[in-house]
Structure 1
Amino acid sequence: MRFRLTRDQRALRSAVRELLARHWPGEALRTAADAGMTAGADSPRLDRVLWKALGDAGFFALRLPEADGGVGLGTAEAVLVFEEAGRALVPGPLVATHLAAGAVPGAASGESVVAAVDGGLVEWLDAADTVRGDARGAVPLRSVDPLTPLHEVPGAPAPRPDPVAVLLTAAEQLGTATRVGEPAVQHARTREQFGQPVGAFQAVKHLCADMLVRTETARAAVYAAAVTAHPADIAAARLLADEAAVRGARDCLQVHGGMGFTWDADVHLHLKRAWVRARRGGGGTQSEEALAADLVA
């Protein structure tokens, strides 16, 4: 099966990438990450200017009908948009706010931030104007990602995750998997050891090749699930995308060697975000069980 984006879809992807480059450049990412590490007991602050810019661009209202003030596009386009957000490491409860558009006042326009209780975890609880689900008794957790503050709701049940939320998380993971491959290849080409680029060594070649294979396999699965919307396809896409993001970021770190472990490199930020996303509902065992149930049926 071949997937070829339409001209409009390619234009949408380019427009979102340009928008994020203007409102969330690398310098803003580093500044926010530094602030998140030094926040202490205070959670990092959500960039409301960026949030409103996303709302004005139709990020949250993308799937709302035009009659309701939305953009009127479909899940396939939402996947492309969230892939770009994952690539840029945009912080905030993007999926929860997107799903709340049309139901929570101000969510579609980016004037409100919506968080959601997801398997007992809540991202950006303190920054949220509205919380979907019962967050009573939530306690703060020390998040590995300086740009994703977390709270845990003790004893909260694990409800069946929304398939669209699972798919959009997979799209974010795909964006990260794609992004970490670029600096890995660039570093392998330019960093020299023993008089030649490190990419000439077989071990490094294999790491880069494996990153590409996992990313493109996940891309095919995520795009297919966006078209079919079948629960088994979404589960498979989520598993493949989680693996591509987490293992891709780890391999990128390995390609960079000791430099990859330093705070000055962005690699660790992608790995930490991938870890946090992988904890959302619909990943891991939940997707494995969904696939097993489909096979048995």
Structure 2
Amino acid sequence: MDFRLTDDQRALRRGVRELLEGRFGREALRAAVDSGRLDRGLWRELGDAGFFALRLPEADGGVGLGLPEAVLVFEEAGRVLLPGPLVATHLAAGSVPGAAEGAVVVTDASEGLVPWLDEADVVLGDVAGAVPVRSVDPLTPLHRVPDGGGAGGGGADGAGADDPVAVLLTAAEQVGSADRTTAAAVAYAREREQFGQVIGGFQAVKHLCAGMLVRTELARAAVWAASVTGDPVEIAGAKLLADEAATDNARDCLQVHGGMGFTWEADVHLHLKRAWVRARLRLPAARAEEAVAAAL
């Protein structure tokens, strides 16, 4: 089986990266952190670009692409820490009017938590009695549902926490974040000097960066392969690898940056916090491990 990207897939990834880097650069990221609000204008632009309607048939007004292309798009979203309930809105594009066009924000109850509840126009799953909780990620406001409502199921339209497509797209976001922190660590190691030379010349730093690259590529290969097979067990394994890559790479990126990496002004901590939240919201490690183990 050939897992190399086609020319069209490369063009899609390149186009999405250019759109997001131009529309959601560092200034926009920091503005989103400060405001804590969802940019509805950007949400509509994503809809116009086909982000949410990517897998809808062309006859229904969609782009007509498949899960492998969706994985590429969500990986790019993860690279720039694009905020909002992207997965839930994408999955609802075929059933909730306005979701495909980005005119409606859709969220869901996953693992007893509901992201962006106050900003959502449509909520999938039972969220009765949901109360706000402090989120470690400033770009993912959360509500908790009493008694873990929505855990593992999430309600209608296949937007549940264990829905394989939802899990895989979340894993793709994790891969994008892991890729971004790897690039940030390498760039900093090439410019930061200690003892008269760039720190990238020190063996310990080289090992950190090499380990980050290996984790990213291993997780990416698993996610891309699972997007082709669609196998739930392979998706669970890919999620495990992607969660590990995103969280461990962010930690190692902090180490490469040294004391600067722990400051609020650095963006590395935002990747670590988002990785923690993503890992918790969709098929957490304990249940993913059980899914893989049960199939062995």
TM-score, reference length from structure 1: 0.95
Contact 1:97 1:115 in 2 (8 A): yes
Tell me the alpha carbon deviations over residues 116-143 of structure 1, each in whole angstroms, 9 at most, x when there is no partner.
0001000000000000001110010101
Equivalent residue letter for 1:277:
R
Partner of 2:18: 18
Q: Structure 1 residue 32: deviation in Å?
A: 1.5
Q: Which runs of 5+ in 2 are unaligned?
A: 154-161
Structure 2 residue 226 is matched with structure 1 residue 233: no
In the TM superposition, residue 56 of structure 1 has moved relative to its aligned partner by: 0.4
AA aligned to 1:159 is G
1:158 positional shift: 2.3
1:30, CA displacement in angstroms?
1.1
CA distance in 2, matches of 1:281, 1:266: 23
Deviation at 1:2, TM superposition (A): 5.3
Find the aligned partners of 1:100 and 1:118 in 2 and give their Cα distance: 15
Residue 101 and residue 157 in structure 1: after superposition, are their counterparts in 2 closer, same or farther (change >3 A)? closer
Distance in 2 (CA, whole Å) between partners of 1:2 and 1:186 is 32
SS of equivalent to 1:84: helix
| Regions of 4+ moved over 4 Å | none
Match of 1:105 in 2: 97
Q: Does the C-alpha gap of structure 1 residues 278 and 186 become closer, same or farther in structure 2, counting only changes over 3 Å?
A: same
The number of residue pairs the alignment matches comes to 287
Amino acid across the alignment from 1:70: G
Alignment of 1:214-233 (within 5 A): 214-233=215-234
Rounded to whole Å, the distance in 2 between the matches of 1:138 and 1:4 is 44
2:132 alignment partner, SS class: strand
Structure 1 equivalent of residue 7 of structure 2? 7
Q: Distance in 2 between matches of 1:51 and 1:97?
A: 10
Inter-partner Cα distance in structure 1 for 2:277 and 2:43: 20
Q: Secondary structure at the match of 1:45?
A: coil
Counterpart of 1:159 in structure 2 is 152
Question: In structure 2, what is the equivalent of residue 279 of structure 1?
Answer: 280
Structure 2: which amino acid aligns with 1:91? P
Matched, 1:248 2:241: no
Equivalent residue, structure 2, for 1:116: 108
The answer for the alignment partner of 2:158 in structure 1 is none
Query: More displaced, 23-32 or 155-164?
Result: 155-164
1:147 alignment partner in structure 2: 139
**Is the alpha carbon distance of 1:7 and 1:46 closer, same or farther for their aligned partners in structure 2, counting shifts above 3 Å?**
same
User: Where does residue 206 of structure 2 map in the other structure?
Assistant: 205
Residues 130-167 of structure 1 show CA distances to partners (whole Å, capped at 9, x for unaligned) of 00001110010101111110000011252251000000
**Equivalent position SS for 1:174:** helix
Instruction: Show structure 1 runs of 5+ residues with no match.
Output: 36-43
1:30 matched residue in structure 2: 30
Deviations 1:208-227 (A, max 9, x none): 01000000000110000000
2:65 is the counterpart of 1:59? no
Q: Which amino acid aligns with 2:216?
A: T
Supply the AA of the counterpart residue of 2:227: A
Counterpart contact for 2:109–2:150, Cα < 8 Å? no
Give the AA of the match of 1:5.
Answer: L
List per-residue Cα deviations over 1:20-71 (Å, max 9, x = no partner): 1222111100121133xxxxxxxx2110000000000000000011111111
Residue aligning to 1:129: 121
1:52-107 per-residue CA deviation (whole Å, 9 max, x = no partner) reads 00000000000011111111100000000000000011000000000000111100
Task: Report the Cα offset of residue 281 of structure 1.
Answer: 2.4
Q: 1:118 is paired with a residue of what secondary structure?
A: coil
Contact 1:166–1:283 (Cα < 8 Å) also in 2:
no
Specify the code of the residue in structure 2 equivalent to 1:154. Answer: P
Alpha-carbon separation, structure 2, partners of 1:112 and 1:50? 12
Q: CA deviation at 1:203?
A: 1.3
Query: Is contact 2:50-2:63 (8 Å) kept?
Result: yes
Q: Once structures 1 and 2 are overlaid, which stretch shifts more, 153-162 or 138-147? A: 153-162
Q: 1:83 aligns with which of 68, 75, 89?
A: 75
Question: Paired residue for 2:291?
Answer: 290
Q: Measured at CA, do residues 28 and 3 of structure 1 come closer, stay the same or move farther in structure 2, by a change above 3 Å? A: same
The answer to whether 1:189 aligns with 2:151 is no
Shift of 1:189: 1.1
Which residue identity is paired with 2:273? K
For 2:133, give the aligned amino acid. L
